[in-house]
Chain A
Amino acid sequence: MATVPATAKCVVIGAGIVGNGLVYHLANLGWRDIVQIDKGPLPNPGGSTGHASNFIFPVDHSREIADITADSVKQYQEMGVFTQSGGIEVARTEERMEELRRRMSSAKAWSIPAELLTPEQVQEKVPFLDKDVILGGCYFPTVGVVDSLRAGTIFRERAQELGALTLAPNVEVTGMVVTDGRITAVETTGGSIACEYVVIAAGVWSPKLAKMAGAHIPLTPAVHQMISVGPCEQLAAIPGEISFPIVRDMDTFCYERQHGSDMEVGSYAHRPILMDAEDIPSIEQSKLSPTELPFTSDDFDPQLEQALELMPELLGDERAEIRYAINGLLSLTPDGFPLLGETPEVKGLWSAAAVWIKEGPGTSRAVAEWMVHGNPEIDLGHSDIARFYPHQRTRAHIRARTSESFNKTYGIIHPSEQYSSSRNIRLAPMHASEKELGAVFFETAGWERPHWYESNAALVEKFGDVCMPREHEWDARWWSQIINAEHLQMRETAGLVDLSAFCIFDIIGPAALEAVQRIIVAQADVKIGRVIYTPVLDERGGFRSDLTVMRVAHDRFRVVTGGAHGMADLKWFADRMPAGAVVVDLTSAYTTIGVWGPNARAILASVTRDDVSREGFPFATCRDIEVGNLSVTASRISYVGEYGWELYTPIENGAALWAALLEAGAEHGLIPVGIGVYGTTGRIEKGYRAYGYELDTERTLAEAGMQRPKIKEQDFIGKEAIIAQVAQPPTSVLCSLTVDDHMSKSGVKRYMLGGEPIMTREGGELAGTHGWHPYVTTAGSAPSLGKHVLMAYLPPEYAVVGQELAVCYMDELYPVTVAANDATPLFDPENDRVKGNA
């Protein structure tokens, strides 16, 4: 039995593409004393890397994934294990053709070469494909295949050459030692290793390993079926591993990838076949490997038939045999993103799981940077393992969501697409009332949030075409004109918004001020009752969050932040608590209701005897008030550009407060308003930035136009970076743009939804980007302006009000004009409404 070193700085568990990349990148960044263990032999220990199809399509609608993939390709190329083959996504339906046009736009947004092809052009490149079953294709010349096992070996060898790595194959983890919340050792069949850090890069086995330490890595092993057919005459005629582009048959969720003289057919169309990590067979129990399970051909037969339609001659040749067929295991997560970063449960225990071959090297570099430097160069916000709420880590949730999303691997996913499974998990206290009001619920972090209310439908008639109806089904999907009508009514009278999804936590203790001061950019040493809106930065000056902080006592601060990113914020704060301060999560203790609009003050005044006058309750202050027999904390801030309050009350009082306000507001024209207004229309006309859209760790205060003239005296995270930024003009500027003409060539008005590339009027790339790509971070109606507004970072020379540009949507150009090149709101630029001057 192999033995392991008794101590290590870092133990990397897993020798798949991620673990191998990690040991190299950690070593390259200066770490030594790394031990890599795997229960299987090298170079193929039997995980998902060993049976991967190993092809890479660079395009993805997510910037994070596209960037990670681009970095991975670069690394594979540098190692000489990348073979460019080109790839074609083919469409059998008009709906899919439209999706391919959308992918063309995404490709342009990330500067990935792409070209739409006619069926004839597709057949020219793939002669054995039947052009009659397709409507067209999208060709990506930079698609390629990699040798991921070879890459792994090179990574390990490089780490060994640096003297940083001890390899321990055939060693299985039997336990993890956690002392006072920190990982201190890994127990293995080869002995115990005392260590500071452990990274679980064990793919489908990761949940089982995390459990040993009391942590969660919420993924499920799932079956992806593939077969290999050959030898095929047309393929055998040409030497080499791959001479034809890889074909993704998007409508049947299949791919066809040449492997020498064989054609590999893989599918994401079969029923979701999920497993538990505990049930994966051992190496000894497996016929091929633990992640190559017995093929269940019944599940695959329908796909085979469809593949045959596409390549009748090649696959229909009786001499071409199915020689290899497996149910291959891969990792699926509830939201489709990887699971990266330190686990929230155990300090020093990191996850690098649920990563595809195309993302492996890039991910491992980013995670290594994160471990060594504290933050990765590429923002990993969507992949941060800290993002999950407890219910999202349950087996039932993981299985429900992955079952639903599996068949969407090649699906056409609308940017606002909602899950239908695992819903109604977190209900606001006023949920029943909302249902009665005809709320259409969207989900955020498990919360059911009204996106708009059907009860407001009559307002659409009232406001008419100002509601900016959308003619195209795709643009109008998961959307309603009622949102715009609610917006206009709120600006006219008042709106009531359920904000129960907010994540709320307190920082308490004698060192609370010191703790908060160090984390936030704004001055924290304020009077009790002050409300601070502030960015939170990392050491390099990139955004970790933006949120509000209330000073509720001399030794107590209350943080209110968005639900989607709340858990990551909570971890960011908790990780940085000095002695004498603690973080207490109050998310499930309070509900939040927003009341905003010209009549908000009158409404609140009608239900409280406390002073809520303009002078008596200034902006950016908070205090406890009585609303009838309810105790409420009121905070005078706004995210929709109107006068009003966020009202916090114990969650069990929420329904009563909601009812009281609705009733009192009736005579003041108060309507319930959904998140469609709060999250998009209300903020976009005000130029308010949102975390995860405009703000992430790759953006700075200067770029976002959020720098203040004065930097606070006290030390805080990111301060040095900000000071350095002041000396240097930003390389990009966040702008608001208006769409000048919505008419498409086909005569249908189109409305962008976000993610589209910004180009010159002629469709050229903007100069001066130095490798980054201007794209729409948020798109939405600005009903008060009667415009469709886009936000995007632009190179400084284009960030000029009046600059004429274009946005590429569904592979068509639409003219746009820069309307603001800083945080100046397009609507009510002086903020008279918020101040109560209007």
Chain B
Amino acid sequence: MTDVLVCIKRVPEATGEVTLTPDGLGIDGSHAGYTVSPNEECAVELAVQVADGGRCTVLTLGPAGAVDQLRAALAVGMTDGIHIEGDSDAFSPADVAREVAAAVRARGEAGSAYDLVLLGNDAADTGDFQVGVRLAYALGYPVVTGIQTVSVEGSTAILTGEGPDGSETYRVALPAVVTVLEGGVEPRYPSVMGRMKAKKAPIETLAPTTVPVGSGRLALEVPPPPPNQVRILGEGAAAAPAFVATLAELGVLR
């Protein structure tokens, strides 16, 4: 039995055209909706698997609407939630790490320490690649990033991820921080029962411990799409010869 905390972040869906908020400092998710990164979905899945009956808490720092993302995680097997209410855009990675660390310590002081803290490798929106590492330093825990599978043997976590020379295995003493990269597990979808449980699962709401320093963001811009210069080779099967000719031109065919 392992007690796991998973940190997730509410981010705008960005499968389509991106629209900025009127002040140009945020991304407008009102059309496409909000989600968490695939990495975090995998982190949640790993947590549910590795907890083995232990506590699986899902934590987020975000606006009121981020409860949706907490509930979504609770619907796939997390047991309770922590919601640090704040505008995530106003928090730097260091700010976020400090707030999460405070929450982890508070739980520890309350007698429910976590063995393992999982995060996504990088947030889908800001892509900072550092909250997990900073959190580990704040807590004094070891940290491994880019992990795809997690298992626990006694007080040791066995972690694997892709390295430059192959699959790498770490054996790290708990408690530890791990950031997860998608690909090792298939995140599950919620079941109807899961949704029902999620509705009733407890969520603790916290205020940030201090005013955030801020992310240093000055502006956002959506780069214009490259000009459409496509040459249509033809329609349907009739275009096959033109395709082959183009390959020859490009030197792909000898």
Which residues of A approach B to under 8 Å, CB–CB?
229, 281-287, 293-298, 301, 304-305, 307-308, 315-323
Contact indicator B189/A286 (Cβ below 8 Å): no
Q: Which residues of A contact B33 (CB under 8 A)?
A: 287, 293-295
- Closest CB in chain A relative to B150 CB, distance in Å: 22
Given pairs A283-B16, A316-B191, 6 additional interface contacts (CB within 8 A): A285-B19, A285-B32, A287-B15, A287-B16, A295-B33, A318-B193
Residue in chain A with minimal CB distance to B18: A285
The 8 Å CB contact of B31, one of A286, A315, A319, is A286
B31, B193, B195: which contacts A297 (Cβ < 8 A)? B195
Across the A-B interface, how many residue pairs have beta carbons closer than 8 Å? 68
Q: B63-101: which residues lie under 8 A (CB-CB) from chain A?
A: 68, 71-72
Q: B34, A294: Cβ atoms under 8 Å? A: yes
The residue in B16, B32, B192, B193 that gathers the most chain A C-beta atoms within 10 A of its C-beta is B192
Which residue on chain B has the smallest CB distance to residue A323?
Answer: B189
B185 CB, nearest partner CB in chain A, Å: 15
Say yes or no: A315 contacts B17, CB within 8 Å: no
Instruction: Say yes or no: B192 contacts A320, CB within 8 Å.
Output: yes
Nearest-CB distance from B141 to chain A (Å)?
33
Per-residue contact bits, chain B 1-38, to A (CB 8 Å; 1 contact, 0 not): 00000000000010111010000000000011110000
Q: How far is the CB of A259 from chain B (nearest CB, A)?
A: 15
Complexed CA–CA distance, A662 and B81 (Å): 71
**Contact between B192 and A287, CB atoms less than 8 A apart:** no
Known contacts: A307-B192, A319-B191, A322-B190. The answer to whether A281 contacts B32 by CB under 8 A is: yes
Write out the residue numbers on chain B whose beta carbons fall within 8 Å of the beta carbon of A304: 192, 195-196
Q: Which of B17, B72, B199 contacts A285 (CB 8 A)?
A: B17
- CB atoms of A301 and B199 under 8 A apart: yes
Are B191 and A321 within 8 A (Cβ)? yes
* Cα-based distance from A304 to B71 in the complex (angstroms): 15
Of A293, A307, A321, the contact of B189 (CB 8 Å cutoff): A321
Distance between A320 CB and nearest chain B CB, rounded to angstroms: 6
Q: Which residue of B lies closest to A295 (CB)?
A: B33
Judge whether B195 and A322 touch: CB under 8 Å: yes
User: B107 within 8 Å of A by Cβ?
Assistant: no
Interface check B188, CB cutoff 8 A: yes
- Taken together as a complex, chains A and B put the C-alpha atoms of A298 and B71 apart, in Å, by 9
Closest to A324 in B: B189
A315: nearest residue on chain B (CB-CB)? B192
Which 3 A-B pairs rank lowest in CB-CB distance, beginning with the nearest? Answer: A294-B33, A321-B189, A284-B17
CB of A776 to closest CB in B, whole Å: 44
Docked pose: A296 CA to B33 CA in angstroms: 9
Given contacts A282-B17, A287-B15, contact A229 B68 (CB under 8 A): no
Q: Is the CB of A285 within 8 A of B189?
A: no
User: Residues of A contacting B54 with CB < 8 Å?
Assistant: none
Q: Mark B179-198, 1 if CB is under 8 A from A, else 0.
A: 00000000011111111100
Cα A323 to Cα B196 in complex, Å, equals 16
Q: What are 7 A-B residue pairs whose CB atoms fall within 8 Å in the complex?
A: A285-B17, A295-B33, A298-B68, A298-B71, A301-B199, A318-B191, A318-B193
For the complex, would chain B's binding face be called helix, strand, loop or mixed by DSSP majority?
A: mixed
Interchain CA distance A307-B34 in the complex, whole Å: 26
Closest to B33 in A: A294
B residues neighboring A (CB under 8 Å): 13, 15-17, 19, 31-34, 68, 71-72, 188-196, 199
Q: Which residues of B lie under 8 Å from residue A315 when comparing CB positions?
A: 192
| Contact residues in B for A284 (Cβ distance below 8 Å) | 16-17
Q: How far is the CA of A298 from the CA of B192 in the complex (A)?
A: 13
Residues of chain A lying within 8 A (CB to CB) of residue B72: 297
User: Once the chains bind, are A322 and B189 in contact (CB under 8 Å)?
Assistant: yes
User: Is the beta-carbon distance between B192 and A294 smaller than 8 angstroms?
Assistant: no
What distance in Å separates the Cβ of B236 from its nearest Cβ neighbour in chain A? 14
A286–B192 CB distance below 8 A: no
A319 to B32, CA, bound (A): 28
Q: Please determine whether A317 and B68 come into contact, CB atoms closer than 8 angstroms.
A: no
Contact B196 A317 (CB under 8 A): no
Question: In whole Å, how far is B51's beta carbon from the nearest beta carbon of chain A?
Answer: 16
A318 touching B194, Cβ below 8 Å:
yes
Given the interface pairs A281-B31, A281-B32, A285-B19, the reply to whether A297 lies near B68 with Cβ below 8 Å is: yes
Query: A724 → chain B, closest Cβ, in Å?
Result: 51
Closest beta carbon of chain A to B253's beta carbon, Å: 31
Q: In the complex, A774 Cα to B19 Cα: how many Å?
A: 58
Q: Which residue of A lies closest to B196 (CB)?
A: A305
Chain B's nearest CB lies how many Å from the CB of A374? 40
- Across the two chains, which residue of chain A brings its CB closest to B228? A1
List of A residues within 8 angstroms of B32 by Cβ: 281, 285-287, 294
Contact partners of B31 in chain A: CB under 8 A: 281, 285-286, 293
Which B residues are in CB contact (< 8 Å) with A316? Answer: 191-193
Q: Contacts of A297 on B, CB cut-off 8 Å?
A: 68, 71-72, 195
Q: Are A308 and B71 in contact (CB under 8 A)?
A: no
Q: Which residues of B contact A283 (CB under 8 A)?
A: 16
Across-interface contacts of B199 in A (CB, < 8 A): 301
Question: Which residues of chain A have C-beta atoms less than 8 A from B71's C-beta?
Answer: 297-298
CA distance A428 to B191 in the complex (A): 56
Q: Given that A281-B31, A287-B32 are contacting pairs, would A308 and B189 also be in contact in the complex, using a CB cutoff of 8 Å?
A: no
A143 to chain B, nearest CB (A): 24
CB distance from A189 to the nearest CB of B (A): 13
Specify the chain A residue showing the minimal Cβ separation from B192: A315
Chain A residues near B196 (CB-CB < 8 A): 301, 304-305, 308
- Complex Cα distance, B128 from A11, in Å, reads 51
Residues in chain B near residue A307, CB distance under 8 A: 192
Given A285-B31, A294-B32, are A301 and B16 neighbors across the interface (CB < 8 Å)? no
Chain A residues with CB below 8 A from B19, complex form: 285
Look across to chain A and name the residue whose beta carbon is closest to the beta carbon of B71: A297
Q: How far is it, in angstroms, between the C-alpha of A281 and the C-alpha of B192 when the chains are bound?
A: 29
Contacts of B191 in A (CB 8 A): 229, 316-322
| CB pair B16 A321 closer than 8 Å | no
Known contacts: A294-B34, A298-B68, A301-B199. The answer to whether A229 contacts B15 by CB under 8 A is: no
Closest residue of chain B to A308 (Cβ to Cβ) is: B192
Interfacial chain A residues near B34, Cβ < 8 Å: 294
Residues of A within 8 A of B195 (CB): 297, 301, 304, 322
Write out the residue numbers on chain A whose beta carbons fall within 8 Å of the beta carbon of B192.
229, 304, 307-308, 315-316, 320, 322
A309 CB to nearest chain B CB (Å): 11
Q: Which residues of A contact B16 (CB under 8 A)?
A: 281, 283-287
CA distance A319 to B17 in the complex (A): 34
Bound complex: CA A322 to CA B75 (Å): 10
Q: Residue on A with the closest CB to B13?
A: A287
- Pick the residue among A287, A296, A308, A321 that contacts B190 (CB under 8 A): A321
- Shortest Cβ gap from B17 to chain A (Å): 4
Q: How far is the CB of B154 from chain A (nearest CB, A)?
A: 29
In the bound complex, do residue A321 and residue B188 qualify as a contact, i.e. CB atoms below 8 Å apart? yes
Within 8 Å CB of B188, what residues of A? 321
Report which residue of B72, B188, B189, B199 has the largest number of chain A beta carbons within 10 angstroms of its beta carbon.
Answer: B189
- Complex Cα spacing A286 to B32, Å: 5
Q: Which A-chain residue is minimally distant from B67 (CB atoms)? A: A298
